Amino acid sequence: MATPLCPMCNKPARQRCSLCKSVRYCSVKCQGEHWSYGHKEECRRGAVVAKKAAHRNGSLDACTAANGAALPAHEQQEEAPVPKQELFAYSGYLQLLRESQALDMPVPCGIRNTGNSCFAAAVLQCLLYTHPLPAFFSQRLHSQRCIRPKPQAWCALCALEALANAAYGQQEGGAISADSILQHIRKLGSHFAVGEQEDCHELLVQLQDAMQGIMLREAGGRERHPEVRTQETTLVHHIFSGYMRQQTICGSCGYVSKSFENTSALQLSIPPGVFDIEAALALDTKPEKLDEHNKWKCDHCKEHVHARRDLKVEIAPNVLQICLKRFTGYNGKIEKLIDFGETLDLTPFMACGAIDDQPVTYSLYGVITHIGRGSSTAFGHYICFVRTEPDNWFRPSGRGRS
């Protein structure tokens, strides 16, 4: 019998992919590289089928609850978040990612502040250096096929593409204008106003929603693709989206209820006692006890019972966005420092038996922060830091960069 070979280096391979059981590797390093180069998507589909079969055969390994007990047998067989079809092929995303990472990216240029627009400039700077968007924008893949509801309608994705190409072609130390986006900011959200400072995370969410709407329209719209999971296979979803699993376990009969929610950002609380990202993640994913004050209605035993609820990551996003909840009261701000490193291991916060059951680590490339007058968000200034290759950090400003 022939010895299996590693798909990355062709060396003899003994370590099997724990998810699909069909591919072997010579090392953890090669396994991680193959996961990033496309096995992730192949594995997801195979894993769902395999896990359903394991449930039917009763052979699925038991997950361990917080108190050390194995999870009970009664389980709601809810569909895992896997689409019936893809609107933008995941292989196309991977190809763009390779092309984007191979680009000789210029140092970030400045985006001129035209009056309380620093929040937008900070968001746009980070977007322009989010792979694989540099390849997507520089190849003008959207504008070549843009479908507008009206010939003269403003298109957020066309505006982003034009801004990106202006930024990538700018001489070092120069600055560009984002007026093509700022003057239409109310089209991203009716609560936005030209010339007013807004919350940068809110703008980022609205920009991504606009990109999603445009890409979905190009694929035929919701009418043609009514299945929600299929709608979540555009390029913007491949980049930013993941899935959370909420799991509730009945304390009486052991019934397990699961639900899955698409998410593009982890919004973390930072109460007293939390001083780093890992502690904030641990707090937000800590099991919740449902007791006398908030009993849960079990679908299996039809009783209001004590239960335990967990919220964990089922599928990790390719680009992880973390937002710290610093708002407090009316325009108040929590000022304390929160430590974070240049790498983050999300593995401890993944759901038991998750579709993504490989190690999940991230490298930091963009940071946005608010600085200014005391503990208030009503005043001050948004700045960002962007990491370029190889490991150079820049702080773009309205006049250039530093």
* Residues carrying an active site annotation: 118, 381
Question: What do you get for the CA distance between the two ends of the chain, in Å?
Answer: 60
Give CA torsion, residues 32, 266, 156, 100, to 10 deg: -20
Give the Cα separation of 124 and 137 in Å (integer): 13
Give the Cα separation of 171 and 253 in Å (integer): 67
- What are 140's strand-pairing partners? none
* Residue 250 CA, distance from chain mean position: 30
Tokens 């092929």 belong to which residue?
A: 89
75: DSSP letter: B
262: DSSP letter: E
For 56, the token pair is: 């039917």
266: DSSP letter: E
Answer whether 100's CB lies under 8 Å from 106's CB.
no
Among 344, 328, 329, 332, smallest CA distance to 276 is for 344
Q: Is the dihedral of CA 161, 88, 364, 264 positive or negative?
A: positive
- How many CA atoms within 13 Å lie on the side-chain side of 53? 7
